[in-house]
Amino acid sequence: MLMISAGLIVLLALIALTAASFIVRNVNYASWDAARVARAGFIEKQTEINGSILNYAKGPDNGPQRRKTMATIGYLTRNEDGSYKGELLTLSHSIPLTLVPIEKTKKDAPNWRTMSGRADYA
C-alpha cells in the first residue's frame, strides 16, 4: 500500500508540475515573446488607415551581413570595336561566346547579340 501511494504521489506531482508550467507559459507567452523581439531590436508601431488601426514592427537595419560571393561561370574580354569575346564554363560544357552591341529597334529590345560559334542567340 505504501508503494502505491509513493508512486501515486510522484505521478500527481508530475501532473501538477506539467499543468503549472503549461499555465505559466500560457499566461506569460506574450510578454516573453515581446521581450525577445525587443532584444532583437524591433520596435512596435501603429498607424491608422481609413479608420482602422494597424500594428506593425520595424526592424533593425543592421542585420547579419549577407555573403555576396558568386561563382564565376564566364570570362569575357572587351575588344576594340566594343564587342566582348570569351568563354562560358560549366561543369560539363565550355562554350565560346561573343557579345556584339546592336542598335535597339524598340525600347525593350536587347542591347547585345549573343553568338556561340555559328549559332546566333539574338
DSSP state, 115? E
Residues 23-50 have pLDDT tens digits of 999 999 888 888 888 888 888 889 988 8
Residue 111 pLDDT > 80: yes
Asked whether the beta carbons of 76 and 84 are under 8 A apart, the reply is: yes
The model's pTM is: 0.41
The rounded distance, in Å, linking the Cα atoms of 34 and 45 is: 13
Q: Per-residue pLDDT for 57 more than 90?
A: no
Q: What is the pLDDT of residue 1?
A: 52
Distance CA 72, CA 116 (A): 19
pLDDT tens digits, 64-83: 677 778 888 889 999 999 99
Residue 66 is given by DSSP the state: P
